[in-house]
A = this chain, B = another copy of it.
Amino acid sequence: MSSLILALDVYERERALEIARETADYLWAIKVNWPLLIGSGLGIIPELKEETGLPVIADLKLADIPNTNRLIASKVFEAGSDYIIAHGFVGSDSVRAVMELGKTIIVVEMSHPGAREFIQPVTDGLIELANQLEPFGVIAPATRPERVSYIRSKLKPGIKVITPGVGAQGGKVGEVLKAGADYIIVGRSIYASDNPRESARRIYEEVKAWS
């Protein structure tokens, strides 16, 4: 089984479905974000699943009070999403509201410069929160393999580590997998390539070689 996730950050429904179809053979799952969901409606989720047979991860970065998180998550799970990504920093009750409805992935670290201000100082607390709640997985940045390795070492064994930032953002497949990532997320290097299928195949082979 592949451990490659496609970040399908294109915003036209037709283009999204086309790239998903072309690359599905090499993927474990497809990740969608708000721009595609608001451009195409939640109906894009069942369409992607039907076209590819793959799970869909809704990268909502949910960060609201428990009741609002619950309302948003229930609509997105009902649409067919298999996983939802939620922020841990809003607290365990907000995350629990999502987990009660379906499989959840918690953000425990981010790698953009602004993440140094408030997120990175509390990564240990966010890992602790994940260990208490035992979600499906956590998000940790592939651009900092030493942090992936740190997070893996602190995290309960059953919780998956899922890493965005491989490819265009600089994360290296081999380094990130060696650091303990279970799944890697690749976006631009696949969807913005001249030949998305061939790019997905190449990254898939690289992942296989390292797994």
Contact = CB atoms under 8 A, between A and B. Distances in A.
The count of identical subunits is: 2
Contacts of A72: 33-35, 38
Contacts of A62: 61
Interface string A1-22: 0000000010100000000000
Interface stretch (A89-97, A154-162, A193-201, A202-210): A89-97
A110 interface: yes
Interface in A58-114: 60-66, 68, 71-72, 75-76, 87-95, 110, 112-114
A131 to B, nearest CB: 14
B33 A68 contact: yes
Contact of A125 (B61, B93, B112, B118): B118
Q: Which of A39, A63, A113 counts the most chain B CB atoms within 10 A?
A: A63
Interface residues of A, number: 44
A190 interface: no
A192 interface: no
A65 B33 CA distance: 12
Given A35-B71, A41-B41, A91 B65 contact: no
B89 A119 contact: yes
Contact of A114 (B33, B90, B116): B90
Interface of A: 9, 11, 33-35, 37-39, 41-42, 60-66, 68, 71-72, 75-76, 87-95, 110, 112-119, 122, 125-126, 129
